[in-house]
Amino acid sequence: MQALQHVYDMDRKWYLSVNNDFATNGNIGNLEFGGTRWSMQGEWKIGYKDTRGYEAEGRLGRYIGEKQWLYPYIGADWTCRKGEAGERNMFRQTTKKDREMDGTLGARYMLPLLLIADARIDTDGKVRLQLERDDIPLTSRLRLSFSLNTDRDYSVGLHYILTSHLSVSTNYDKNLHWGVGLMLTY
């Protein structure tokens, strides 16, 4: 019986992964703490100027199915950016990005080519669809990342891997604009 218990030990382990890009336009990062089924995920973008503002979002969810392509979640989204109140998204819903905190309910799904589709609704009734992909290998050391959504936010980034934990990066974000920096990966 004890030998059978060791077979499932790997399923019960939790891990932490963090990417943090210290760039000239802001601090951009994500983290994940989870096991094979449950996962807590977070993302942030912090601008160095008030007009660039900040965004942070957190999710708690569970991977469904044998292949674990579907990830339903609940979460929270904090946004503060001066001068952007009243913007409309692609669904013609008005946003209050000057200062907003909302709860979210959504699902992420892994598409072919490892693209992640994210559909969610927040506590104000606003819907957001998003498509993203991190770590697209262009060469053995050069990686591409992108994200775009129906709030008309988008970003693209490149990073060149120096060591297993350090990369040189450049990115463009609609709100933070151009930046170069160092990315730490754990």
Q: How confident is the prediction along the chain (186 residues), in pLDDT tens digits per residue?
A: 555 566 667 677 899 999 999 999 999 999 999 998 999 999 999 999 877 889 999 999 999 998 899 999 999 999 887 766 667 888 888 876 677 899 999 999 999 999 999 999 999 999 999 999 999 999 999 999 999 999 999 999 999 999 999 999 999 999 999 999 999 999
Number of domains in the chain: 1
What is the pLDDT at residue 99? 75
Alpha carbon of residue 160 to chain centroid: 20
Amino acid at 175: N
The boundaries of the domain holding residue 90 are 2-185
CATH number for the domain spanning 41: value is 2.40.160
CA distance 110 to 23: 28
Give the contacts of 83 (CB within 8 A, at least 6 positions apart): 51, 98
